[in-house]
Amino acid sequence: MIVSWVVRPRQIAREMGWHLAILLVWDFFVVIAEMVLHWNWVSWPDVPLALYGAAIGLLVSFRNASTYNRWWEARTLWGAIVNKSRTLARQVLNTMSAPKDSDGAEQQEAEVLRGRLVTYQIAYVHALRQQLRGLDPVAEVARILPDEDWSGLAGEKNAALAIQRRMGDMLTAARHRRWISEWEWQAIDDSLEGLMDAQGGAERINNTPMPKQYDFLAWFFVLIYCVILPVGIVERLGWFTPLGSTIVGFMFMALDKIGRDLEDPFDNSIYDVPLTAITTTIEINLRQLLGEKELPAPVKPVEGVLW
């Protein structure tokens, strides 16, 4: 996610340079054809550019509003994952304990399980981040839980769900040993259900692309408008046509690109929802709840981009 107000000319040149160059060449061709070669048929002064521009602007704005809604929903879902992760860790640490009449070994065993469950939740959010971005989650999980056997995780279609299943097995065992009551189990299960709902929403966004009609028609109409723009204004602007046409064309192409950039909020690009920063924040919070002192550093923006 771009968090800096600084203009990134290299980024603009890399992503839109060829489009602007082709548009500028076309503008100069129209000007030379009209002003030097006197091809009067090139000039179409009666083209209703304002009407076309308004219609295309409405179409592109509607598409951009839809893509921003997808991006914002993805961010909202990850906000819910942050809250549910904190709630789950607090519930486990505050409620799970061995019965008072148990021996010291069982008390120690319950304490170890509490720590494992919270650490599993840390592994869960990192695994979910990786699989949404199309990356390998195993290395991240192995970093957090190096003593666990994750050899079978590589074959899982949904690594985050597999981690949740292991957490459910541990909670079920704790309930059978009376380390948590039925009411406490229900509250923890509600937190797990909230995490699954948020994960399902994120996967829905990730697996459902925008309708291709939006992409194609918006791009096609912007292209047509950029082609007819210089022929409609060359009679009035003359040699200044490339300046006016390129600036207006750049505005429309930039609007179209904004929508494309926001279409996939988990694309592991600079326009992403900052999943690395969010999951690192969750890890810091949960490790603090465990009383750990060696915490990962918060993710900082790199060249104006927060990952």
CA angle 303, 306, 307 (to 5 degrees): 115
Note the pLDDT of residue 106. Answer: 75
Q: Compute the mean pLDDT over every residue in the chain, rounded to the nearest whole number.
A: 82
Greater pLDDT, 37 or 133: 133
Give me the mean pLDDT over the 225-236 stretch: 80
> What proportion of the chain, given as a percentage, has pLDDT over 70?
91
Distances (CA, A) of 124 to 13, 48, 194, 199, 290: 38, 56, 14, 11, 16
Calpha distance 223→219 (Å, rounded): 6
> What proportion of the chain, given as a percentage, has pLDDT over 90?
20
Sign of the Cα torsion 184, 187, 189, 192 reads negative
Give the pTM.
0.83
pLDDT in tens, 105-163: 778 887 888 888 999 999 999 999 999 998 888 888 888 887 776 766 777 788 889 88
As given in the structure block, the two tokens for residue 75 are 């961010």
Note the pLDDT of residue 252. Answer: 81
Sign of the Cα torsion 85, 86, 87, 91 reads positive
Asked if residue 15 lies in contact with residue 261, where contact means CB atoms within 8 angstroms, the answer is: no
Asked if residue 277 lies in contact with residue 299, where contact means CB atoms within 8 angstroms, the answer is: yes
Calpha distance 174→180 (Å, rounded): 6
pLDDT in tens, 193-229: 999 999 999 999 988 887 777 777 777 888 888 888 8
Alpha helices (H) along the chain: 9-35, 49-95, 104-132, 138-144, 159-176, 182-207, 212-237, 241-262, 275-289
Calpha distance 106→99 (Å, rounded): 9
Sign of the Cα torsion 106, 108, 110, 113 reads negative
Domain residue spans of the chain: 9-289
The C-alpha torsion from 117 through 124 and 299 to 142, rounded to 10°, is 90
Note the pLDDT of residue 203. Answer: 93
CB half-sphere exposure, 276, CA atoms < 13 A: 20
Asked if residue 133 lies in contact with residue 150, where contact means CB atoms within 8 angstroms, the answer is: no
- Whether the per-residue pLDDT at 44 is higher than 60: the answer is yes
CB half-sphere exposure, 119, CA atoms < 13 A: 19
Asked if residue 191 lies in contact with residue 117, where contact means CB atoms within 8 angstroms, the answer is: no
pLDDT class of 50 with cuts at 50, 70, 90: confident
